[in-house]
Copies of this chain bind each other. A is one copy, B any other.
Amino acid sequence: MAQMRRYAGGVDGNRSLERGIEILRAFRPGIDTLGNGEIAERCGLPRSTVSRLTRTLVNSGMLDEIRTERTYRLAASVISIGHAMRTGSPVLNAIGPMMRAESAKRRLNVGLATADRTMMVYLESIRYSPRAALRNVVAGQQVPMELTSLGRAYLAGLAESERERLLKLFKRRSAAATRALLAEVRRSISAVERGGYCAVSWQPAVLAVATPIVLDGLPVYALNMSLQNVDRSDALASELGAYLNAFAAKCKEVLAGR
């Protein structure tokens, strides 16, 4: 009869699986543990349904149950899947070592990211520090797409239709300053189209430049370079941009022979 198509507005696909994934997604930095009640509320699901789905996720090893608190936490399995993802990423494999070398050579931060819905996710972020012990590599961290050079470069690398879809989402998200923000985003996008990169100071005293990497059959990526403890200056931005353009060209060359 209803051959599994469109449950409550969705089209095709498996509702339970979708819900289960949504539950996993409800855990994020700052939200370390969740109980069934809170999950039900955040995901907009009936409590009995959540109870069953979390049980399944525990049995599948994706969640750890904290019996004493009647609460759940992401289990170690999720990082082993994450590791598999990084291991299997042809882009990261190809240019990861180059990024590390470039970070050391230029003494700046180098990052590679792609999108997870409306956020950018670092596949690798090499934080340069003169104290080698503080050198820091993070993967999986998220930053907002519309506010960062990474995100705007990503948008610039996207096909028109997909880009407009995302821009609409931002409009809905940040009630304030929408007009000005969107204009800024579009300015960054055309900067990429003209000069290959865009520069943004999302965080105070940090200057970042980014450029998209578009490869056939793969998601769009964005590559960035950044410097801490500097004042924004156009001269510095264009110096960084030149470095980035040169490095990105090298990367694309390597990636082309894949």
Contacts and interface: CB of A to CB of B under 8 A. Distances in A.
B14 A83 contact: no
Interface string A93-119: 000000010001000000001111101
A139 B68 contact: no
Interface string A12-43: 11111111111011011111110000000000
Nearest to A52: B14
A178 interface: no
Interface residues of A, number: 76
Contacts of A59: 13, 18
Given A31-B84, A76-B123, 8 more contacts: A12-B55, A17-B56, A68-B216, A68-B217, A76-B121, A78-B84, A79-B82, A84-B140
A137 interface: yes
Contacts of A29: 83-84, 87-88
Interface of A: 4, 12-22, 24-25, 27-33, 52-53, 55-57, 59-62, 64, 66-69, 73-90, 100, 104, 113-117, 119, 121, 123, 132-133, 135, 137-142, 216-219
A80 B142 contact: yes
Given A14-B20, A84-B74, A133 B104 contact: yes
